[in-house]
Structure 1
Amino acid sequence: MKAALAACVAFAAAVNAAVQGFDVSHYQSSVNFAAAYNSGARFVIIKATEGTSYIDPKFSSHYTGATNAGLIRGGYHFAHPGQSTGAAQADYFIAHGGGWTSDGRTMPGMLDLESSSTSQCWGLSASSMVAWIKSFSDRYHTRMGVYPLLYTNPSWWTTCTGNSNAFVNTNPLVLARYSSSPGTIPGGWPYQTIWQNSDSYAYGGDSEIFNGDLAGLKRLAQG
């Protein structure tokens, strides 16, 4: 994964390339994957699970639609830190669509780290949150052979992890910032691997931009 991270940033620095993508969940009941591909999108990240008891009801149909359209695709897990261990949630995610295989079309799973409707940091201290994320990440890596992507925003990461740099050399960053530029990157990452730049994408879901060219995106999918 360190090699993949280095390769991604090298491509970004050398050619300033970008690849359009997006993410979806059951909130998007109908997504035009073929139109997204025809417009230039090449990847999509699809909600699979939450905690250890919820499976997104649209995951299977979204995944099939993305596959049929020729998109590189993968699943994401909405984290419930503190409600069960990170390892247990990684196992649940893998069992319900979040697994990875080196077929060149499957993104490593993504861990969605953000506030709940009632708790910003899920009742955990910064050190406990970092340990929880590490538990999830390490279990995913042990079972799948790659580290998961980590999705977050600068405010949440700073508040809930103390702006930890513990994942810089292992986990690619998916940065949520709805602005004209990624801005300051949290957590010591030198760059974002994917930038969620808007909560509105023409063909469904949120807009995401891979920080590199298509060859770099395929390398990420290959692990």
Structure 2
Amino acid sequence: MSRGIDISHHNVCTDYAAAKSAVDWVYIKVTEGSSFVDPSIDEHHGGFAGKPRGPYHFMRGSSAAEVATFVAQVRARAWELPPMLDAEYQGVTSAGIKAFLAEYQRQTGQELTVVYSSESLFTGACNPAGFITGNTVLWAARYSQNSADFSTLGWDHPQLGIYQYWDKGFIPGFAGGIDLDIARVDLGSPQAPSAPSTTIGEDDMAFGTPAPAGTNEHVDLGVVGCKQLRIHTSFGHVVHVRAVLFYGDTGADPNGTGEGGGYDGEFRTPKARWDWAPNRPGPIAIPVGSTSCTVLYDADHAFYVSAALR
């Protein structure tokens, strides 16, 4: 058995050395929904250096943009534990969890294996039968007993590996109550997207989003933490880009050209087109503060759009 905690910006640590001495591992909230990035990621991540750390996402839906927000923050730092999906919002279902896991695997090529929810949801709307694979580790919460004994959970599963048994625990170095967890499995090494290199290349992509052929088509993707937008076409083909619109707190005129190369031909008279061929015109700089974007285009073939971290 090993003991851990899961924390976010709601948990203030004044002595990380003391906190590290009291736990075996820690999970750190990095994102929630499609746009929220926890402001305490770097503080907690740096403070717990030397201890196994894992990132988690508080799920609000299963859109590509929401998953991409999580993926970008996972890739931005080194982790020792696999990413975790926190599925406890009102209205969450097994189908929603399955959709999120599938989208994560589509964007990263890797499986998201740790799924957290309450005991009441796992026995109800989030029945693991609807999403579980042979690699899944279930993490269940129930606070009524304040006991680290798995038998007090009142529910068991062959793949139940972590029990969050209290939400008002005391850990040295923290002010206020802390979620307390106990694991009966070896969490292992992370199945997470690899960290970006220092030069732009395939490994710098936070994710690739397929764009289908069509006229007046569009594709949406999240770009949180990313710096360049790329369109990948086959030689001999051209994508006619109508507009690239960035959303988020990008400063003045975020729906126009944006800062750093965004393009909006739809607002021009006459409407303009941007012919995008292989290696031309090159990547678009993503305005600082962007959380997502829409690419509107005409294409006679399928292609990919990706966001790069550098």
What's the TM-score once normalised by structure 2's chain length? 0.52
**Deviations along 1:67-99, whole A, 9 cap, x unmatched?**
1xx110011111102xxx34432211011x234
Structure 2 counterpart of 1:91, which letter? A
- SS of the equivalent of 1:27 reads coil
CA contact (8 A) 1:46 1:76 kept: yes
Kindly indicate which of the two structures has a greater share of residues assigned to helix. 1
Note the 1:79-118 alignment, pairs <5 A: 79-81=59-61, 85-95=62-72, 97-99=73-75, 106-115=80-89
Note the 1:131-146 alignment, pairs <5 A: 131-142=95-106, 143=108, 145-146=110-111
Paired residues in the alignment total 180
CA contact (8 A) 1:175 1:196 kept: yes
Partners in 1 of 2:189 and 2:128 — Cα distance? 27
**Deviations along 1:171-209, whole A, 9 cap, x unmatched?**
2111112222333436xx314221111112313421111
CA contact (8 A) 2:20 2:51 kept: yes
For 2:18, the equivalent position in structure 1 comes to: 35
What runs of 5+ residues in structure 1 fail to find an aligned partner?
Answer: 1-17, 123-128
Structure 2 counterpart of 1:64, which letter? G
CA contact (8 A) 1:100 1:144 kept: no
CA contact (8 A) 2:97 2:131 kept: no
Rg larger for: 2
Distance 1:121 1:190, change over 3 A: same
- SS of the equivalent of 1:202 reads coil
1:206 and 2:179 are equivalent in the alignment: yes
Task: Give the one of 145, 153, 156 matched to 2:121.
Answer: 156
Q: Share of identical aligned residues, percent?
A: 30
User: 1:34: Cα distance to partner?
Assistant: 1.9
What runs of 5+ residues in structure 2 fail to find an aligned partner?
Answer: 192-310
CA RMSD of aligned residues (A): 2.5
- SS of the equivalent of 2:11 reads coil
1:65 and 2:47 are equivalent in the alignment: yes
Structure 2 counterpart of 1:36, which letter? A
Distance 1:174 1:162, change over 3 A: closer
CA contact (8 A) 1:86 1:133 kept: no
Note the 1:167-186 alignment, pairs <5 A: 167-178=132-143, 179=145, 180=147, 181-182=149-150, 183-185=153-155
Structure 1 counterpart of 2:45, which letter? Y
Distance 1:31 1:144, change over 3 A: farther
Distance 1:80 1:59, change over 3 A: same
